[in-house]
Structure formats: structure tokens, C-alpha cells
Amino acid sequence: MAAPFEDLDPLLHSQLRLAVMSLLLSVREAEFNFLKEKTGATAGNLSAQISKLKDAGYLTMTKEFNGSYPLTRCAITPEGIKAFEKYVSSLQRYLKPE
């Protein structure tokens, strides 16, 4: 009997949040502007989605200043890595059911 399909993490099922997590998985830490450039998202939308990932414990966000310019950095957490790996594993089961 085939294994039942698992629910996909709704936080990661969003295209922009999935893109942010994918980027952070490869670089571990990134500046906000890097994420904005790579995803093509607006600053407001990206900020809202990063906040959701931060609230879930999937990433950390630090704010500092570079001269008079604000600098926001995001880093994936161990919990975020686990959630991403579980999401990918669940998705693979959808693509190749037993």
C-alpha cells in the first residue's frame, strides 16, 4: 500500500518564501538587497515574507547600519534547514508515489 501524501508546509509552499529559503540554504546568510535582487520581489512583499519565516523560526534577521544606511541580514536556522529538507522530501513523494 502506498504511503499517504503528507501535508506540505504552507509556509514553504509560497513561491517567494520557498525562493528565500532556497537561496539561504545555498549561502547560509544574505543581505536583504541580495534576496530582493535574486527573487525580483518588492521590498515590502519580501519584508512581509521574511517576517513570516522569522516568526516560524526558519531564519534569523539582524539589522545594523553601514554608515547611515540600514543593513538587514537574514540567515537560515537549523530548524529552517530541517523544515526545508522535510518539504523537499514530501514533495518528492508527491512526484514519485510508491
Q: Give the CATH number of the domain where residue 25 resides.
A: 1.10.10.10
Q: Is residue 53 part of a domain?
A: yes
pLDDT at 98: 66
For residue 51, give its domain range.
15-95
Q: How many CB atoms lie within 10 A of CB 20?
A: 28
Please give the backbone phi and psi of residue 40, each rounded to the nearest 5 degrees, phi first.
75, 15
Q: Give the bridge partners for 65, in sequence order.
A: 70
pTM greater than the 0.75 cutoff: yes
User: Rounded to an integer, what distance in angstroms lies between the CA atom of residue 23 and that of residue 35?
Assistant: 8
pLDDT at 12: 94
Taking only the tens of pLDDT, the chain with its 98 residues reads 445 677 889 999 899 999 999 999 999 999 999 999 999 999 999 999 999 999 999 999 999 988 888 899 999 999 999 999 999 998 888 888 76
Amino acid in position 65 = F
Q: Is residue 3 part of a domain?
A: no
Q: Is residue 7 part of a domain?
A: no
pLDDT at 79: 97
